[in-house]
A and B are shown apart, each in its own frame.
Chain A
């Protein structure tokens, strides 16, 4: 099916050529455009289905599991109940006001789709709606990109951009089947909003501006990244004003958007009064005020002689600027307006997050991007993009300014944080499509050659050469995209693919095995302590209460769990008892060579808890004497005593008959390194040891401390050492 994408691109390039006047040509053009759109839609959907075909129809990763759980709640309860949902099964014992702290756009949309399908007689499982949600919406994104680029250049560029958008890996990375996340819908809405915005500022039509505002509202309801739009549109206007390009159309487009959009965005409970309270939104308000003044000034300017007007303008502008900035500072100082949020601030001061908010810095999505990632995600668009920006600069219509501002800002943001690659991808597609269609305009236009009787052969050859090389790059692009999707973006990360020695592919299903075990073998109100990464999955798949999850709203609570993991057993036991936890879950990849396990994440647990209890936890104590992060016999005593180490390696050397080899870290663990565990007992270890579950032991019946009891036990059963370790039977798996 992806080959359709190839033919699509080649065809779309030819479309602008056929600008004949007869109705037949126009008719053919319409049919062709329609066919191309169908093909693009098909390519967009089918290239995102790898994961369903290779694995199964399953929700991916971490956050989607929460969204899925919330959607299930939505379709089984009423909408109002959903908005007032207080979830007592996460963040135990605090709970989470889920209804008020989520962006409901995604769930509401898929809920609506589900109801619609049911109404027209297609009762589909809600899980399948969720899995297929992102591919379906990526088709719509392609359509929006087409209209957006059409406004920038022409329909030929539009078709190219749509085709790029459909299969570009940078976008597929967040929208494969099963990655049911906010971004899946957000990029669609982003493009639709921008498309209407471009139309609005071009025509000045109030209707278009209202539509922009409505889609902006939809965007606000779906993704926290809406702040990007809130700042980009004002910036566009501001730069246009600086360039002296103010006109009445801008006024009507912007003010209408701002008034309706702001009011509407405050309807979302999670956003609340932020649009008038937080500094992130103040730029939009400032430009709104500025535009009023400029409009007034414009009116006066037409009446008063220009010399005098200049003086009046300068003086009043200076006054207003001073008063405005002073007011902003004063309001922030007195606490009426919240200062910039940490996440936003960390975009500008790149060291900010590392020092002040380790929890943000710890997330792999927030790392800076090295150049191969750009190439990997966009292939040859990456070099067409700067060319496109340059060419747009030379035309520089009002709407081009928008694309340029978007490109420059977003390429910076994407360089700082890998997750913002997603917002850069659409503009890469648009600018690259503009550059490519300009090339095709020059070299693929044979109308002139056809008219001439005398054919200039060498000219024809050079044209053919240039256009054929670029068509070749397009073909290569399609191959590259397919390769990337197959390679990188199609793994659900709940089920891991693995190759055995004889070359067969096996699926490693330890996560689901363990979660299912939890679901069947523990009490319904059991509380599971684990690092926050697994909170959503435990909630979604095992349906058990968790202490912390991926929502990360309470840093202290996360740090407390981190402290429990990093402390010696007695202390951890105390902390976990206070938190009323029943089980502890750790992910251990040593046997399998799975590098994303808890031992590798452990330093972040230490850092985050060190941020709160610097006296008790010190990162340096976890390094060996030579200053390295080791887990073998040269590991520091603190490391060996901490709960995470003990739980990860408990019984591991014995599995190999004395010398356990950790495949992730390539180190050998001896039985003497692993200290006995007295306060916890192992209840379950999955097939490949990926998930290990421990239960907190009950207080000793004879009143001894659990350590003493353990010591006594060991001294009496020293001969029977094997007893300490028992791998649970696999019959438990159902």
Chain B
């Protein structure tokens, strides 16, 4: 839910203090989120595995983009594109799986979710392979 822009201005009378509170809020939110995340991961090894994989994908995608930026050429554009998109695609599939590992959707047990994940990944890889030439 995107909350209605209510009374941000009312929370603080001057602009500088508003900025101050906002940055503090950000810090607070960041700290709390990190803390609870650590708790969550340490309790479940599978989540850790998924997250490492996710981080790995982000790194790969970054490296590809960097490479493209360095050589200043996009020449086999479909090769770059498929390389990049498969990272994104695999990433969102992993996140989808992670959400289900955390809290299974009704009607989709965990085992089935994993099976679906494998099928979807296979299809994704096949299309990429076809696209990359």
Contact = CB atoms under 8 A, between A and B. Distances in A.
Interface of A: 203-207, 209-210, 213-214, 241-244, 246, 248-249, 251-252, 255-256, 258-260, 262-264, 266-267, 273, 276, 292, 295, 299-300, 302-304, 308-315, 317
Contacts of B44: none
Contacts of B36: 302-303
A29 B133 CA distance: 51
A315 B124 CA distance: 36
Given A203-B106, A204-B108, A312-B26, 16 more contacts: A207-B116, A214-B123, A248-B103, A248-B105, A251-B95, A252-B105, A255-B93, A263-B82, A263-B86, A263-B124, A263-B128, A300-B32, A303-B33, A311-B11, A312-B22, A315-B22
Nearest to B35: A303
Contacts of A273: 77-78, 81
A206 B96 contact: yes
A193 to B, nearest CB: 16
B32 to A, nearest CB: 5
Contact of A205 (B28, B89, B105): B105
A456 to B, nearest CB: 41
Given A266-B81, A314-B8, A315-B22, A206 B93 contact: yes
Nearest to B118: A206
Among B5, B25, B131, the most chain A Cβ lie within 10 Å of the Cβ of B25
A278 to B, nearest CB: 15
Interface in B66-107: 77-78, 81-82, 85-86, 88-89, 92-93, 95-97, 99-100, 103, 105-107
B29 A309 contact: yes
Nearest to B103: A248
Interface string B29-49: 100110110000000000000
Contacts of B106: 203
B1 interface: yes
Contacts of A308: 25, 28-29
A248 B99 contact: yes
Contact of A259 (B21, B92, B105): B92
Nearest to B104: A204
Contacts of A207: 115-116, 119-120
B9 to A, nearest CB: 12
B105 A204 contact: yes
B13 interface: no
Nearest to B92: A255
A263 B127 contact: yes
A248 B88 CA distance: 18
A210 B81 contact: no
A311 B77 contact: no
A146 B93 CA distance: 30
A259 B32 contact: no
Contacts of A300: 29, 32-33
26 contacts: A204-B100, A204-B108, A205-B105, A206-B96, A206-B119, A210-B119, A210-B120, A210-B123, A246-B1, A248-B100, A252-B100, A255-B93, A255-B96, A256-B93, A258-B92, A262-B85, A263-B131, A273-B81, A295-B95, A308-B28, A309-B29, A312-B26, A313-B3, A314-B5, A315-B26, A317-B2
Contact of B96 (A256, A276, A311, A315): A256
Contact of B28 (A246, A302, A304): A304
Contacts, number: 130
B59 to A, nearest CB: 17
**A-B residue pairs, 3 tightest by C-beta:** A244-B1, A252-B96, A259-B89
B12 to A, nearest CB: 10
Contacts of A256: 92-93, 96, 120
B128 to A, nearest CB: 7
Interface of B: 1-3, 5, 8, 11, 21-22, 25-26, 28-29, 32-33, 35-36, 77-78, 81-82, 85-86, 88-89, 92-93, 95-97, 99-100, 103, 105-108, 112-113, 115-117, 119-120, 123-124, 127-128, 130-131
B89 A263 contact: yes
Contacts of B81: 266, 273, 276
A646 B3 CA distance: 70
Contacts of B97: 206
Given A206-B113, A252-B100, A314-B5, A259 B29 contact: no
A433 B89 CA distance: 38
Nearest to B6: A310
B29 A203 contact: no
A276 B77 CA distance: 12
Nearest to A210: B120
A267 B22 contact: no
Contacts of B107: 203, 205
Nearest to B97: A206
B119 to A, nearest CB: 6
B133 to A, nearest CB: 11
B127 A264 contact: yes
B123 A260 contact: yes
A230 to B, nearest CB: 16
Nearest to B117: A206
A213 B25 CA distance: 40
Given A203-B108, A299-B33, A303-B33, A267 B130 contact: yes
Contacts of A206: 93, 96-97, 113, 116-117, 119-120
Given A244-B1, A308-B28, A259 B116 contact: no
Contacts of B86: 263
Contacts of B2: 241-242, 244, 313-314, 317
Contacts of B93: 206, 255-256, 259
A246 B112 CA distance: 23
A246 B82 CA distance: 29
A260 B99 contact: no
Contacts of A210: 116, 119-120, 123
A310 B124 contact: no
Contacts of A213: 123
Residue from B11, B115, B120 with most neighbouring chain A CB atoms (10 Å): B120
A711 B95 CA distance: 83
Nearest to B102: A248
B120 A260 contact: yes
A267 B124 CA distance: 13
A248 B131 CA distance: 30
A259 B33 contact: no
A251 B102 CA distance: 14
